[in-house]
């Protein structure tokens, strides 16, 4: 049966089936995804939508024992999670080889993250209460998120289907603790539903080379989320979501140890002792591999964030051919942080509104159109930065008003096409007094095309292409707060990043075998990057844009084979091909070759899940890596072999192995044990520290090319009642 017929029926009985995510992306898309949810348990399988979509189910999340969004996304084809700082542990979600700031995160189809929250948000987004995660790659993958040059990650909240509760408690090595609660309630007539989610999780610092400085920070998160929906008659549906998330990160000197300024037992100990007077030496013999002997604050990175989110959607069936969805969301991200003597405070607020209309022209022809507006303001300041008359804050005003139109047509049972077009008025203004004028004021057109063709019962092709844009607004987003308190910094942005992307996927499905081969190409103009500028004889960090066009190609193959009803295997092979311009824009070298193998075996009441991931060798010089283990180093000495402390410029291949065993102890109780990074593979433990000195003798924390957190065994129980 054609999906539009199901779509019409879906709207007609909204009191039974409508969820808050019905208009998350394309209205048609949500219905078809939910209709085939049971077929999406294998990694790499395609959602039954026109565009190529990776679906991570709640079962997948449970199998990984993922406690946050970044862990839930690990191992998904075309998705990489980069750790871009060994101190603050900042994580970036990279889609189709793009940068983290070019990925848009939606919750139930609506924007809920500000431009700076993508840095410290992904490790704070809880997995408790997630129904699934949809990942759509490529520019224009969402009608309401045109700035997603890399693609969209859409987190779908579990909707109540019964009155029940679930409690998950686990703990393990390295101070790991997690408490997750999910409660759902449904009224007697089934028209009102409520979901309550709470999660607390914590991990201690990790120091593999025992030099007193962590390679992975202390993480502590608390999330409280509630969602309520109400059907009004047979034609109207209201949903409301509210969330409060708090996160604290502390990296650098190991808590509980003694340094030049005494023993530290908490972040407050470090911040209270900040005296602006640096030590003569940070490490014994000036070598980052030796003990840290400086003051604790000199290598401390501390970030505390709070985020409040509100979202509301009204879905209404106007006639048997017309329906509409009015949605609004609000997010407030507050950050207080300290980076090795430089403080950064920011309040980032975002308000979004969308009015969407769907007209069922015919059973095989759907027209979608609407208007939306996103208004965001960032107000930031720094006490240390204010001491310099050259300091320029990254405060900004961002305003986008857009109109979109999409025509989805199914001329035959084997062919579907969706053509979309957005027209946006984009205004971006850096509001610091030293940045007069409006930097970006553009009207821009962004087209998108998605095609699906069924060759026969087994083979399906999907082709997508589109243009996108992004305003690179925040210095913080590209350098995550590593600012110079004496020299300040400069912003030189006057153009939107502009992208063009195409994706083709060929999938085969014939039990017990499924396979998907996909290739993608993206090019970006005006790519933002960090450079340097000479101001009064000093080198000042500069957020600027590249003149050259940058491009990246991606190829991946996902194969799933169900050996028996209880035993399944998955294999994913991925390669990323960056041109010289794109490589040089990265501050941290991403992995460009990856193979993932997964085994899932159910026997009686037992389940065993094992995942093995291979990361390929990389030439780090292609990404501009150059650093030294020792501070007192002379380049000429290295050249003539007198003394060499130069860090490696080759990242060796390595394996990460994760395994979990779960046992059903009854109808409502289960227990599990597992281990992440079974082989204890870490860069600092097996190779070298991510700490480095540059040629000028300045310390840095980002010589990263391998795993930074070691083995972590855990155990837990899940109780449903």
Q: What pLDDT, on the 0 to 100 scale, is given for residue 7?
A: 34
Residue 625 has a pLDDT of 92
Q: How far are the Cα atoms of 112, 370, 394, 415, 470 from residue 353, in angstroms, in the given order?
A: 12, 11, 25, 33, 19
pLDDT value at residue 645: 81
pLDDT, position 642 = 43
pTM of the model: 0.89
Report the pLDDT averaged over residues 442-447. Answer: 93
Residue 237: predicted pLDDT: 93
Across residues 663-687, what is the average pLDDT?
A: 94
Rounded average pLDDT over 463-471: 91
Task: Note the pLDDT tens digit of each residue in 310-325.
Answer: 999 999 999 989 999 9
Q: What is the pLDDT of residue 75?
A: 87
Give CA–CA dist 60/181, Å, rounded.
18
- Average pLDDT for the chain: 86
Q: Is residue 226 part of a domain?
A: yes
Strand-pairing partners, residue 151, are 103, 137
- What does the alpha-carbon distance between residue 187 and residue 159 come to, in Å, rounded to a whole number? 13
Residue 421 has pLDDT above 90, yes or no: yes
| Residue 679, in any domain of the structure | yes
Q: Is residue 267 part of a domain?
A: no
Mean pLDDT in residue range 281-292: 92
More confident residue, 514 or 472: 514
Give the pLDDT confidence score for residue 33 in this predicted structure.
32
* Confidence at residue 643, expressed as pLDDT on a 0 to 100 scale: 53
**Share above pLDDT 70 across residues of the chain, in percent, rounded to a whole number:** 88
Report the pLDDT value the prediction gives residue 489, as an integer from 0 to 100: 62
Q: Is 278 domain-assigned?
A: no
**Res 393: pLDDT:** 82
Does residue 423 have a pLDDT over 60? yes
Residue 113: pLDDT band with limits 50, 70, 90:
confident
Evaluate whether residue 271 is within a structural domain. Answer: no
Cis preceding linkage at 512, omega within 30: yes
Q: Does residue 24 register a pLDDT over 70? A: no
b/e per residue 143-166 (b: at least 16 CB within 10 A):
bbbbbbbbbbbbbbbbbbeeeeeb
- Interhelix angle 3-12/27-35, rounded to 10 degrees, is 100
Q: Among 90-104, 169-183, 461-475, 638-652, whose mean pLDDT is lowest?
A: 638-652
Lowest mean pLDDT among 20-24, 277-281, 458-462: 20-24
Name the domain count of the chain: 1
Task: Report the pLDDT value the prediction gives residue 349, as an integer from 0 to 100.
Answer: 96
Residue 539: pLDDT band with limits 50, 70, 90: low
- The answer, yes or no, to whether residue 238 has pLDDT greater than 50, is yes
pLDDT band at 437; cut points 50, 70, 90: confident
Grouping H, G, I as helix, E, B as strand and the rest as coil, residue 479 is: helix
Which pLDDT value is given to residue 39? 27
Residue 260 lies inside a defined structural domain of this protein: no
* Whether residue 327 has pLDDT greater than 60: yes
List strands edge to edge, sheet with 103-107: 53-57, 130-137, 151-157, 103-107, 110-111
SS3 state at 541? strand
Of 169, 155, 40, the closest CA to residue 108 belongs to 155
User: For residue 437, what is the domain's CATH number?
Assistant: 2.40.170.20
pLDDT surpassing 80 at residue 478: no
Contact indicator for 533, 490 with CB cutoff of 8 Å: yes
> Does 416 have pLDDT greater than 60?
yes
Cα–Cα distance, 699 to 269 (Å, whole number)? 23
Least confident of 141-150, 558-567, 660-669: 141-150
Q: How confident is the model at residue 475, as a pLDDT?
A: 63
For residues 427-447, average pLDDT: 90
Q: What is the mean pLDDT of residues 206-220?
A: 96
pLDDT for 639 equals 46
Q: Looking at residues 273-288, what average pLDDT do you find?
A: 91
Query: What's residue 46's pLDDT?
Result: 32
Q: Is the pLDDT of residue 392 over 80?
A: no
Reading the block at residue 15, the tokens are 């009191």
CA distance 409 to 123: 39
Q: Assess contact for 645 and 694: CB atoms under 8 A.
A: no
Q: Residues 136-147: what's their mean pLDDT?
A: 81
Look at 32-46, 262-276, 537-551 and tell me which has the smallest mean pLDDT: 32-46
First CA to last CA distance, the chain: 38
pLDDT digits (tens, 9 = 90+) for 333-382: 999 999 998 888 999 999 999 999 999 998 888 999 999 999 999 998 88
pLDDT of 582-639, one tens digit each?
988 888 898 899 999 999 999 999 999 999 999 999 999 999 898 999 886 554 554 4
**Average of per-residue pLDDT across 388-392:** 73
Query: What pLDDT, on a 0 to 100 scale, did the predictor assign at position 385?
Result: 78
Mention every residue, 6+ apart, whose C-beta is less than 8 A from residue 535.
390, 487, 488, 490
Whole domain around residue 160: which residue ranges?
Answer: 3-252+300-720
Q: Is the pLDDT of residue 229 over 70?
A: yes
Quick check: is 115 in a domain? Answer: yes
pLDDT of 47 over the 90 cut: no
Give domain status of residue 257, yes or no. no
């Amino acid at each position: 049966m054609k999906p539009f017929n199901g779509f019409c029926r879906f709207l007609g009985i909204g009191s039974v089936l409508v969820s808050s995510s019905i208009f998350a992306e394309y209205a048609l898309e949500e219905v078809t995804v939910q209709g085939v949810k049971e077929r999406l348990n294998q990694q790499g399988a395609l959602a039954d939508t026109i565009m190529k979509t990776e679906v991570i189910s709640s079962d997948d999340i449970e199998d990984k024992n993922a406690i946050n969004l970044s862990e839930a996304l690990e191992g998904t084809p075309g998705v990489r999670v980069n750790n871009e700082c060994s101190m603050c542990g900042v994580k970036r979600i990279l889609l189709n080889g793009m940068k983290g700031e070019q990925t848009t995160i939606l919750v139930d189809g609506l924007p809920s993250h500000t431009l700076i929250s993508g840095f410290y948000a992904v490790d704070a987004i809880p997995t408790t209460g997630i129904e699934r995660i949809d990942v759509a790659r490529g520019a224009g993958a969402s009608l309401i998120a045109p700035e997603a040059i890399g693609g969209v990650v859409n987190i779908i909240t579990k909707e109540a289907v019964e009155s029940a509760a679930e409690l998950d408690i686990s703990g393990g090595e390295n101070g790991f603790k997690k408490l997750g609660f999910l409660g759902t309630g449904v009224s007697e007539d089934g028209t009102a539903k409520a979901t309550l989610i709470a999660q607390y999780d914590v991990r201690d610092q990790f120091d593999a080379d025992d030099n007193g400085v962590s390679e992975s920070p202390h993480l502590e998160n608390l999330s409280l989320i509630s969602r309520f929906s109400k059907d009004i008659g047979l034609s109207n549906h209201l949903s409301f979501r509210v969330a409060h998330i708090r996160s604290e990160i502390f990296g650098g000197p190991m808590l509980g140890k003694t340094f030049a300024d005494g023993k530290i037992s908490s972040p407050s100990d470090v911040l209270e002792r900040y005296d602006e007077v640096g030590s003569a030496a940070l490490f014994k013999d000036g070598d980052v591999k030796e003990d840290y002997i400086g003051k604790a604050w000199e290598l401390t990175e501390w970030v505390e964030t709070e985020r409040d989110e509100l979202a509301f959607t009204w879905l209404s069936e106007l006639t048997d051919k017309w329906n509409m969805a009015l949605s609004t969301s609000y997010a407030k991200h507050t950050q207080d942080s300290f980076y090795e003597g430089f403080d950064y405070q920011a309040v980032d607020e975002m308000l979004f509104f969308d009015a969407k209309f769907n007209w069922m022209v015919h059973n095989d022809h759907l027209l979608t159109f609407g208007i939306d507006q996103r208004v965001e303001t960032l107000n930031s300041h720094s006490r240390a930065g204010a001491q310099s008359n050259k300091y320029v804050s990254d405060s900004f005003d961002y305003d986008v008003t857009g109109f979109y139109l999409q025509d989805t047509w199914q001329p035959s049972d084997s062919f579907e096409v969706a053509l979309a077009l957005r027209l946006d008025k984009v205004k971006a203004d850096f509001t610091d007094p030293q940045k007069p004028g409006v930097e970006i004021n553009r009207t821009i057109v962004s087209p998108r095309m998605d095609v699906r063709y069924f060759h026969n019962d087994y083979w399906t092709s999907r082709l997508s292409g589109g243009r996108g844009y992004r305003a690179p607004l925040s210095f913080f987003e590209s350098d995550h707060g590593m600012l110079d308190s004496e020299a300040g910094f400069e912003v030189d942005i006057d153009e939107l990043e502009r992208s063009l992307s195409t994706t083709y996927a060929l999938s085969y499905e014939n039990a017990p075998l499924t396979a998907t081969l996909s290739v993608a190409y993206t090019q970006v103009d005006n790519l933002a990057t960090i450079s340097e500028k000479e101001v009064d004889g000093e080198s000042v960090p500069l957020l600027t844009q590249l003149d050259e066009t940058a491009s990246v190609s991606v190829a991946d193959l996902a194969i799933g084979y169900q050996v028996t009803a209880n035993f399944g295997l998955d294999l994913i092979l991925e390669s990323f091909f960056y041109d010289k311009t794109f490589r040089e824009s990265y501050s941290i070298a991403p992995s460009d070759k990856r193979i993932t193998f997964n085994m899932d075996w159910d026997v009686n009441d037992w389940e065993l899940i094992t995942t093995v991931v291979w990361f390929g060798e990389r030439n780090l010089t292609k990404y501009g890596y150059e650093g030294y283990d020792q501070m007192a180093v002379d380049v000429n000495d290295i050249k003539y072999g007198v003394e060499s402390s130069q860090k490696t410029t080759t990242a060796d291949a390595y394996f990460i192995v994760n395994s979990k065993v779960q046992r059903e102890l009854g109808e409502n109780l289960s227990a599990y044990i597992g281990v992440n990074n079974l082989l204890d593979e870490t860069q600092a433990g097996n190779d070298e520290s991510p700490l480095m000195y540059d040629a000028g003798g300045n310390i840095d924390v980002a010589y990263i090319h391998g795993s930074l957190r070691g083995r972590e065994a855990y155990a837990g129980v899940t109780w449903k009642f």
